[in-house]
Amino acid sequence: MDLVIDTTAPAPFLPPSDAVLLPWRRLEHPVAWSSVFGRTAPLHLEVGFGDGRFTARRALAHPEDDFVGLEVSSTSVQRAWRRMRRDGVGNVRLLKAPAEVAVRQLFAAGALRSITVNFPDPWPKERHAHHRLLRAPFFRLAATRLAPGGEVRLASDHLPYVAFARDEAARSGVARRERRDPPPEVFETKYALKWREQGKPLCYEVFVLDGTGVPFEPPIARSDPMPHALLAGTLPADAPFAKLVVPVGDAHVVVHEAARALGRDDRWLFRVTLDEGELVQQVLVVAQRRQGDEWIVRLESFGDPLVTPAARGAVGAVSDWLEGTVGLRVVARNY
Ligand SMILES: C[S@@+](CC[C@H](N)C(=O)[O-])C[C@H]1O[C@@H](n2cnc3c(N)ncnc32)[C@H](O)[C@@H]1O
C-alpha cells in the first residue's frame, strides 16, 4: 500500500528579529526568549495589556529589560501592536494567548522577574470567581516560573478582587505581600483613567513569590510529527453520528459533529474540542481519501493547533469511530 506521509519533525520556528507579535503556538515550548529578543536581559510578563499604553511606556523607560505581553482580545492585540510599531518599541513581544496556558507553556523555571496584572477582569459574581486569574494555583504556577524573589504585581479598582487575590496568595503558601507605591504609569492605563474619573479607589498590591519546594508543572507535551492513522475501505454517503466524548488521560476529546465536504466524496471533517485543563482547543480532524480505498485521518493545520496528547487522542477517536460505526479498517496508527 503506497500510503506515505512526511513524518520529519520541522525545525523549531524562530520569528524574524523585528516581529512584535509572536505566533506562540509555533514557538518551541518553553520559549528561548534570548533567541527571540536577540539578547539576554531581565524578562517581565504583563497579563491583559489592553491597548498597550502601560506596556509601551514601561518598555521605553527600561530599555535594559525585555517585556512579554499576553492578551486574549484580538482588538486589543491589534491596537497594542500598532502602538509598539508606531512608538518604535523594540523590547516588547506581544502574544494572543491566555495567561493560564501561556505561563505554563512558554516560560522555563525561573525565567521571569515579574508578572504584572493591571486591572484584571473582576468577575464580580461569586459563582464566576473561578474565572479570576489570581487564584492559588496560578500563584503556585507563577512561583515556579519566577526567579527567586520574583513578584506578581496587581493593580485593581475592584476591592473584592483585591481581597480575593490576597486570600488566594496566602492560601497558595508561596506568596508574601509587600507594601510598595505603584509606579505612576500603573494608574495611567486606559482602565485606570476610566475608574479614576468615576471616583473609584485604585489599589496596588505586590506579592513576592518563593517557589522553593513547589513541583514544576512542565509544559503540556507536544509531539511532532503530525498524528495520523491510515484506514482502508469505502466511506458511505451518510452515517449515523452521535457526539463522542473520549477520555485521554486526564483530558477529554469531544467530537461534536461530522460533515462531508460539499461536492466531494473524498473528504469528511470532524469538529472537535480538546479539553486539557487550562488548555482548550477547537480543532478539525479530517478523513481524506488518498487513492482507491485508502484513507488518512489527521489533524488539520487550520487554527494552528498544539499537537498535544488530546490532539493525538482526537485522531484515535475519529479513527475508532470510522472503524466501529462506518466499517473502515484501521491499518496503521501513528498517534
Ligand atoms: C479590564 S481590561 C484591562 C486592560 C489594561 N491592563 C488596562 O489597565 O487598561 C482586562 C484585560 O485583560 C484581558 N484578559 C482577560 N483574561 C485574560 C487572560 N486569561 N489572559 C490574558 N489576558 C486576559 C482582557 O482581554 C482585557 O483586555
Q: Is the pLDDT of residue 115 over 80?
A: yes
pLDDT at position 13: 79
* Boundaries of every domain in the chain: 24-209, 228-334
Is 151 close to ligand 1, i.e. is its CB under 6 Å away? no
Q: How confident is the model at residue 220 (pLDDT cuts 50, 70, 90)?
A: confident
Q: How many CB atoms lie within 10 A of CB 37?
A: 18
What is the 3-state secondary structure of 58-122? HHHHCCCCEEEEEECCHHHHHHHHHHHHHCCCCCEEEEECCHHHHHHHHCCCCCEEEEEEECCCC
Q: What pTM was computed for the model?
A: 0.86
Q: Is the pLDDT of residue 279 over 80?
A: yes
Burial class (CB in 10 A: 0-12, 13-18, 19+), 101: buried
How far does residue 14's CA lie from ligand 1's centre (Å)? 27
Is 268 close to ligand 1, i.e. is its CB under 6 Å away? no
- The mean-pLDDT minimum among 14-18, 178-182, 185-189, 191-195 falls in 14-18
Pairing state between β 43-47 and 66-71? parallel
pLDDT at position 11: 65
Question: How far apart, in whole angstroms, are the C-alpha atoms of residue 213 and residue 221?
Answer: 22
pLDDT at position 1: 46
pLDDT at position 153: 98
Q: Report the run of H or E that residue 201 belongs to, with start and end.
A: none
Could you read off the pLDDT of 32-71 as tens digits, one per residue? 999 999 999 999 999 999 999 999 999 999 999 999 999 9
How far does residue 16's CA lie from ligand 1's centre (Å)? 26
pLDDT at position 232: 97
Is 98 close to ligand 1, i.e. is its CB under 6 Å away? yes
**Residues with Cβ within 8 Å of residue 216, at least 6 apart in sequence:** 109, 144
Tell the residue nearest (CA) to atom 11 of ligand 1: 48
How far does residue 267's CA lie from ligand 1's centre (Å)? 40
Burial class (CB in 10 A: 0-12, 13-18, 19+), 54: buried
Percentage of the residues of the chain whose pLDDT score is greater than 90: 82
How far does residue 158's CA lie from ligand 1's centre (Å)? 14
Considering only the C-alpha atoms of the chain, give the largest distance between any 2 of them, rounded to a whole number of Å.
73
The domain 24-209 is classified under which CATH number: 3.40.50.720, 3.40.50.10330, 3.40.50.620, 3.40.50.150?
Answer: 3.40.50.150
Residue 208, all three cell numbers: 513576592
Is 205 close to ligand 1, i.e. is its CB under 6 Å away? no
Is 70 close to ligand 1, i.e. is its CB under 6 Å away? yes
Enzyme catalytic residues = 121
Instruction: Kindly tell me the sign of the dihedral angle through the C-alpha atoms of 275, 279, 281, 285.
Output: negative
How far does residue 253's CA lie from ligand 1's centre (Å)? 28
- On the question of a cis peptide bond just before residue 218, with omega within 30 degrees of 0, the verdict is no
pLDDT at position 221: 81
The ligand 1 atom at the shortest distance from the C-alpha of residue 192 is: 8
- Average pLDDT over the chain reads 93
Tell the residue nearest (CA) to atom 14 of ligand 1: 48
Q: How large is the average pLDDT for residues 129-134?
A: 94
Is 78 close to ligand 1, i.e. is its CB under 6 Å away? no
pLDDT at position 15: 86
